Amino acid sequence: MLVDDVVLATQGDAAAFERVYRAHMPRIFNLARRMAGPDAADELTQDVFVRAWQKLALFRGESSFATWLHRLAVNVIIERFRTLGTARERFLADSEAVLEVAHARRTKHLDLSMDLQVAIEQLPHGARTVFVLHDVEGYKHEEIGDILGVSAGTSKSQLHRARQTLRGLLRKEA
């Protein structure tokens, strides 16, 4: 049972932790793919589980393990964005300029799923993060603000711009 595997993993049982990994990996991998793109998803997924192993002792069971792991994954991915050269204060500010460029790149695609994957990769990290967390993962603006260290209003503004840009990219040309 997964709950018990978490307990055993907390006590240092690597076999139990592998079972935890197998159960949660698909969701974490897809979160990483959506937030950071397919090229970075493998490495980020591994980073998340290594971090989870290191931090397991801090999991107190106040939330479900899946929720705890998801939040940890979001933090790991955002840290990666920042270490890639997107300074914290520029994390969202840059989005404004890049969104303008992205909006101009309309391309024709065959299905919406592929479209969204391609379109979202044209968004800057900040706008992509807000869009994925809010519209795909169901986070609230207040939670996104806490995670990114910005106000809820900034998150709302970014979401608006991201949605508009994505709609423009997705809309098939006549």
Partner 1 sequence: MTEQRQFGESDHEPLAADDILSEAIGQWREEMPAADLWAGVATRLEPRTAPRRTQVSFTLPQLAMAASLLIAVASGLTWLAARQPSSAVEAQPTVVAQSESTGEVEGGIVNANFADAQFNAAVTDLEQILHDERDRLDPRTVLVIERNLKTIDLAIQEARMALNDDPANAYLNSHLADARRRKLDLLRHATTLASAGGN
In b/e form, how buried is each residue of 31-63, taking b as 16+ CB within 10 angstroms? bbbbbbeeebbeebbebbbebbbeebeebeeee
Q: Is 4 in the site for partner 1 (CB under 8 A)?
A: yes
94 scored as a contact of partner 1 (CB under 8 A): no
Query: Pick from 95, 116, 111, 92: which is nearest to 169 by CA?
Result: 116
The residue from 21, 65, 68, 139 that contacts partner 1 (CB under 8 A) is: 21
For partner 1, the binding residues in 107-146 under the rule CB under 8 A are: 111-113, 115-117, 135-136, 141
Query: Measuring CA to CA, how many Å separate 7 from each of 33, 53, 62, 70?
Result: 28, 12, 14, 18
- State which residue, 93 or 116, has the beta carbon closest to partner 1: 116
| 88 binds partner 1 per the rule CB under 8 A | no
Structure tokens at 129: 């993060």
With binding defined as CB under 8 A, does residue 76 bind partner 1? no
Q: 27, 17, 24, 5: which is closest to 53 by C-alpha?
A: 17
> Which range in 23-31, 69-77, 78-86, 87-95 contacts partner 1 by CB under 8 A?
23-31
- What are the residues binding partner 1 (CB under 8 A)? 1, 3-4, 7-8, 11-15, 17-18, 21-22, 25-26, 29-30, 33-34, 38, 41-42, 45-46, 49-50, 53-54, 56-57, 99-100, 103, 111-113, 115-117, 135-136, 141, 152, 156-157, 159-160, 163-168, 170-171
